[in-house]
């Protein structure tokens, strides 16, 4: 098992759609066990494969007092009710926001042995599954914010002054283009303008609000190798 690096907003992979798993094989089981270890080490209640750089429909979930489990090709088949909840994401570290989630859901998926299962979930478990299934479609909780004012740095109250733009550094690793054993590493400082997001933002509007100077090609080269 291994702890995998978690991709952080606005890494473009978080906006891509994951593809279904065709066969649940050892590679998928290894991904599941690595994701569970990564989720536990980050103290998350859920993790989706795109967050660790794999565009496959695999999520892992662990709510308090329960064992971790995986859902492969998960589908939410029914949603009932709605409630406002505070939510965060391992890919948007340091922020939480107020979103609307279902009270109760029904879902189905495959397990690590390829067996089909169904489940019904409420409260935190339902919220976690909705959140992780969203990741498989390139949706992050920021898209569900009730208003951008409802996004807060963790630890501040809604009444305190706060800001919504996150400065961060991207380390771009380029695969060697010559048959030589070295990698170029590019460091890019930029800002994610979360302040431009609101509940009505389309996915494309919400995509990469990068500061000037960041080019598309720089973003796409931000790829980890998974050897
Ligand atoms: Ni997340």
Q: What is the pLDDT of residues 42-61, one digit of tens each?
A: 999 999 999 999 999 999 99
Q: How far is the CA of 198 from the centre of ligand 1 (A)?
A: 17
How many A from CA of 141 to the centre of ligand 1? 7
Q: What are the extents of the domains in the chain? A: 12-153, 166-223
* Residue of 37, 65, 132, 149 marked active site: 132
Find out if CATH 3.30.830.10 is the number for domain 12-153. Answer: no
Mean pLDDT for the stretch of residues 19-44: 96
In contact, 39 and 68? CB cutoff 8 Å: yes
Q: How far apart are CA 58 and CA 74, in angstroms?
A: 7
Q: Is 132 one of the annotated active-site residues of the chain?
A: yes
Residue 217: Cβ-neighbour burial (10 angstroms; 0-12, 13-18, 19+)? exposed
- CA distances (Å), 87 to each of 46, 80, 84, 154, 194, in order? 12, 19, 9, 10, 15
Please state, rounded to an integer, the average pLDDT across all residues of the chain.
Answer: 78
pLDDT at residue 195 is higher than 90: no
Tell me how far the alpha carbon of residue 133 lies from the centroid of ligand 1, in angstroms.
9
pTM of the model: 0.73
Distance, CA of 61 to CA of 117 (rounded, Å): 15
- Ligand 1: distance of its center to the CA of 113 in Å? 25
pLDDT of residue 24: 97
Distance 177 CA to ligand 1 centre (A): 33
Q: Per residue in 115-159, pLDDT tens?
A: 999 999 999 999 999 999 999 999 988 888 887 667 777 765 555
Interatomic CA distance for residues 181 and 160, integer angstroms: 51
């Amino acid at each position: 098992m291994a702890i995998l690096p978690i991709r952080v907003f606005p890494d473009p992979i978080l906006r891509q759609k994951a593809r279904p798993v065709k066969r649940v094989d050892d590679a998928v089981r290894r991904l599941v066990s690595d994701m569970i270890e990564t989720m536990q080490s980050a103290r998350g209640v859920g993790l989706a494969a795109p967050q660790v750089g794999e565009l496959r429909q695999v999520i892992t979930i662990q709510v308090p007092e329960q064992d971790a489990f995986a859902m492969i090709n998960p589908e939410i088949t029914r949603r009932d009710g709605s409630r406002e909840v505070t939510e965060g994401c391992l890919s948007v570290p340091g922020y939480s926001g107020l979103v609307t989630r279902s009270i109760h859901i029904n879902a189905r998926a495959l397990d690590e042995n390829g067996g089909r299962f169904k489940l019904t979930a409420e409260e935190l478990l339902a919220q976690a599954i909705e959140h992780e299934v969203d990741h498989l479609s390139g949706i992050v909780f920021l898209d569900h914010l009730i208003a951008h004012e409802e996004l807060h740095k963790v630890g501040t109250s809604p009444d305190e002054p706060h800001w919504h733009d996150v400065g961060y550094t991207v380390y771009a690793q380029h695969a060697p283009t010559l048959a030589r054993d070295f990698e170029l590493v590019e460091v890019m400082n930029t800002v994610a303008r979360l302040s431009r997001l609101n509940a009505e933002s389309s996915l494309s509007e919400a995509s990469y609000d990068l500061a000037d100077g960041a080019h598309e090609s720089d973003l796409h080269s931000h790829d980890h190798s998974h050897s």
